[in-house]
């Protein structure tokens, strides 16, 4: 459910470099629960640990462990909680666009924090426990590239 393919975007987005941090404008938004959330307009990549193994590139199958939260810290998904890593084909549109862009360039053993705007996530409609317009925060650890 979490990684449902989203319809293609109409604007061209650049893929970030593997070790870059991409800055963005951050603005608080109101929610029904009145808890302030943060809204970003660009993908933010923060390398917490640089791996030393094979590099994740489009067309390769990658395996990751991850935790997904909203900007208020509410956890909505975790491969650690399920006890099963998640695998997908990078760049094939099997996951949200923020993941295809954010995992590209990682090396096995690396860990990244991805702050994904709704435009690269689930957009204004949301999905399941993720409200429409939500900025998503993922801690992603790359386990394998095949």
CATH number at residue 103: 3.10.50.40
What confidence score (pLDDT) does residue 4 get?
52
Report the percent of the chain where pLDDT is more than 70: 74
In a domain, 63, yes or no: yes
The answer as to whether 37 is a domain residue is no
Report if residue 71 sits inside a domain. yes
Q: What is the pTM of this model?
A: 0.76
Domain assignment of residue 98, yes or no = yes
Whether residue 18 lies inside any domain: the answer is no
Instruction: Give the structural domain span for 105.
Output: 42-143
Average pLDDT over residues 105-131: 97
Contact 29, 39 (CB under 8 A): yes
Which long-range contacts does 84-89 make (Cβ < 8 Å, 24+ apart)? 85/143, 86/3, 87/61, 87/62, 87/63, 87/144, 88/3, 88/61, 88/62, 89/59, 89/60, 89/61, 89/62
Question: What is the domain count for the chain?
Answer: 1
136: its two tokens: 């998503």
Is 5 within the bounds of a domain?
no
Report d(CA 86, CA 80) in Å as an integer: 10
Q: Does 104 fall in a domain? A: yes
- Confidence band of 38 (pLDDT split at 50, 70, 90): low
- pLDDT score at 40: 82
Per-residue tokens: 10 = 């109409």
* pLDDT per residue as tens digits for the range 10-35: 443 444 444 444 444 444 444 444 44
Active-site positions? 66, 76-77, 96, 122, 138
């Amino acid at each position: 459910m979490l990684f449902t393919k989203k319809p293609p975007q109409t604007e061209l987005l650049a893929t970030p470099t593997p070790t870059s941090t991409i800055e963005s404008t951050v603005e608080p938004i109101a929610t029904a629960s009145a808890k302030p959330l943060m809204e970003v307009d660009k993908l933010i990549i923060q390398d917490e640990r640089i791996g030393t193994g094979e590099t994740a590139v489009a067309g390769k199958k990658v395996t990751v462990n991850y935790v997904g939260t909203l900007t208020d810290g509410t956890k909505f998904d975790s491969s650690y909680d399920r006890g099963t890593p998640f695998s997908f084909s990078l760049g094939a549109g099997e996951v949200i666009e923020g993941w295809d862009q954010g995992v590209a360039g990682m090396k096995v053993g690396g860990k990244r924090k991805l702050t994904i705007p709704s435009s690269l996530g689930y957009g204004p409609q949301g999905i399941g426990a993720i409200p429409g317009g939500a900025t998503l925060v993922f801690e992603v650890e790359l386990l394998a590239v095949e």
